[in-house]
C-alpha cells in the first residue's frame, strides 16, 4: 500500500491520532549488527520483543531469521553453520536460508511445522540491515540521488531515547524546537513533501545561532547558514543531510523501538570516498571519526536536555500542525 498524505497536507484539521493507532514495531528497515559480527559463526541479539540470528552462507550472503528454534526453543545463535544451514545446538536440526528445516537427525523427513521466520536483509557499508516484514515495502534508504558506492562509513554509535519512535522522528517536523533546542533560526518556512511511498521529508534553510560551543565552531570555521533535509522512511529510518556551503554532513539515525516504549538510536555517519590512494586510507577514517564524534555528541546533547518527552494528542497547538500531519502519516504505517 502506498502512503500518500496529500489530503492531510491540505487539511487544517489538527486532530492527532491516539497513541494506540501507532504500530509498536513498524514495518521498516533496522540495523541488526556490524558485518564482522557474522563470521565465522552466527550472531544473535534481541530486537523488539524477539531474538533474531544472522549467519553467512558459503557465498557470503547473509541470512536473518528468528533465533528461537521452533522445536524446543533453543537459541540458534549458539549453534553452528553447516552446509549453508544453521544447525540448532540442542538437537541438530538444520535450517536453510529459506527458513525451512532441511534435516532432523532422528527423522527421515523433517516435520512440516519445522520452519523459522525469515527477514529480508541487506549488507552495506559494514552493517547488516533487516526489514521487519515478509517483503520490503521500500528499498534500504540512502541519500537521495546519491550512489552508496561513492561513500564510506564507520561503525555507528548507539544511544537510548526515553520516548517512542514516533516522538523521536517528529523532531523533523517540529518547527518550534529548531531554535530552542538546536540553535537554528528558520530563514524560510519549512517545506514538507512526500518524495516516495513510505517516505516523508522536511527541508529548511536556517541561521546558525551562537548559543553553544558546537554552533560557535560552525559559525567560525564553516558557515552561519545551513540547509537541512530530513527524510523519514517507514517512520523509523531518518536520512539527514546538512549543507553548510563549504562543508556537508551526511548521516542516518535509525530508530529501533523497544518493548518498554523507549527507542534505541543508531547514528551512522558518511563521508565521500577519497580517490587519492596515498592520503585516502589515512584521511578518510580520521574524518569519519571526527564526524561521528560531532554528530553523536550533538544528538546526545539534545536527548540529555529534554528529559522524557511524552506524546499527548490533546495538547498540540496551531504551531504544531506540521508535526500533527507527520503523526497522522506515521499512524498509517502499520
CATH number (domain holding residue 202): 3.90.380.10
Residue 170 within any structural domain of the chain:
yes
Residues 125 and 153 in one domain: no
Mean pLDDT score, 241-253: 89
Q: What is the CATH number of the domain that holds 109?
A: 2.102.10.10
pLDDT value at residue 13: 62
- Give the strand pairing for 248-257 and 157-161: unpaired
Residue 196 within any structural domain of the chain:
yes
Q: Which helix (H) or strand (E) holds 271?
A: strand 263-272
Cα 269 from Cα 271, distance rounded (Å): 7
Give which of 6, 22, 15, 63 is closest to 263, Cα–Cα.
22
Place of cell 555517519: 269
Residue 122: Cβ within 10 Å count: 15
Cα 130 from Cα 123, distance rounded (Å): 9
Helix ranges restricted to H, the chain = 6-10, 165-169, 177-182, 213-221, 280-304, 321-330
Residues 106 and 157 in one domain: no
Average pLDDT over the chain reads: 90
Residue 172 within any structural domain of the chain:
yes
Residues 125 and 227 in one domain: no
Mean pLDDT score, 80-97: 97
Cα 80 from Cα 92, distance rounded (Å): 9
Q: What is the pLDDT of residues 111-168, one digit of tens each?
A: 999 999 999 999 999 999 999 999 999 999 999 999 999 999 999 999 999 999 999 9
pLDDT value at residue 104: 96
- Give the strand pairing for 157-161 and 191-196: unpaired
Q: Residue 7: is its pLDDT beyond 60?
A: no
Q: Give the residue numbers spanning the domain of 117.
A: 38-131
Residue 283 within any structural domain of the chain:
yes
Domain boundary among 71, 105, 131: 131
Residues 125 and 256 in one domain: no
User: Binning pLDDT at 50, 70 and 90, where does residue 215 land?
Assistant: low
Residue 143 within any structural domain of the chain:
no
Amino acid at each position: 500500500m502506498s502512503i500518500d498524505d496529500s489530503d492531510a497536507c491540505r487539511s487544517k484539521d489538527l486532530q492527532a491520532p491516539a497513541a494506540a493507532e501507532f504500530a509498536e514495531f513498524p514495518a521498516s528497515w533496522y540495523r541488526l549488527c556490524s558485518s564482522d559480527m557474522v563470521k565465522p559463526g552466527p550472531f544473535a541479539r534481541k530486537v523488539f520483543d524477539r531474538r533474531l540470528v544472522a549467519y553467512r552462507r558459503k557465498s557470503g550472503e547473509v541470512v536473518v531469521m528468528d533465533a528461537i528454534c521452533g522445536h524446543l526453543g533453543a537459541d540458534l545463535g549458539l549453534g553452528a553453520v553447516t552446509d549453508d544451514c544453521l544447525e540448532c545446538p540442542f538437537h541438530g536440526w538444520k535450517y536453510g536460508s529459506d527458513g525451512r528445516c532441511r534435516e532432523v537427525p532422528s527423522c527421515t523427513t523433517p516435520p512440516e511445522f519445522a520452519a523459522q521466520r525469515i527477514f529480508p536483509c541487506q549488507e552495506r557499508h559494514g552493517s547488516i540491515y533487516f526489514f521487519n516484514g515478509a517483503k520490503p515495502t521500500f528499498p534500504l534508504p540512502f541519500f537521495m540521488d546519491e550512489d552508496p558506492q561513492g561513500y564510506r562509513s564507520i561503525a555507528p554509535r548507539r544511544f537510548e531515547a526515553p520516548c517512542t519512535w514516533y516522538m523521536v522522528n517528529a523532531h523533523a517536523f517540529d518547527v518550534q524546537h529548531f531554535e530552542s533546542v538546536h540553535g537554528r533560526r528558520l530563514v524560510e518556512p519549512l517545506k514538507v513533501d512526500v518524495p516516495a511511498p513510505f517516505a516523508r521529508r522536511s527541508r529548511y534553510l536556517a541561521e546558525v545561532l551562537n548559543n553553544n560551543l558546537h554552533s560557535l565552531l560552525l559559525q567560525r570555521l564553516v558557515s552561519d547558514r545551513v540547509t537541512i533535509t530530513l527524510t523519514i522512511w517507514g517512520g523509523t529510518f531518518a536520512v539527514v543531510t546538512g549543507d553548510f556551503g563549504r562543508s556537508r554532513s551526511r548521516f542516518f539515525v535509525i530508530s529501533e523501538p523497544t518493548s518498554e516504549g523507549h527507542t534505541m538510536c543508531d547514528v551512522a555517519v558518511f563521508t565521500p570516498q577519497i580517490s587519492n590512494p596515498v592520503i585516502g586510507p589515512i584521511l578518510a577514517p580520521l574524518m569519519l571519526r571526527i564526524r561521528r564524534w560531532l554528530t553523536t555528541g550533538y544528538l546526545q546533547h539534545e536527548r540529555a536536555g529534554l528529559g522524557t518527552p511524552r506524546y499527548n494528542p490533546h495538547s498540540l497547538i496551531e504551531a504544531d500542525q506540521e508535526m500533527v500531519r507527520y503523526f497522522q502519516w506515521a499512524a498509517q504505517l502499520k
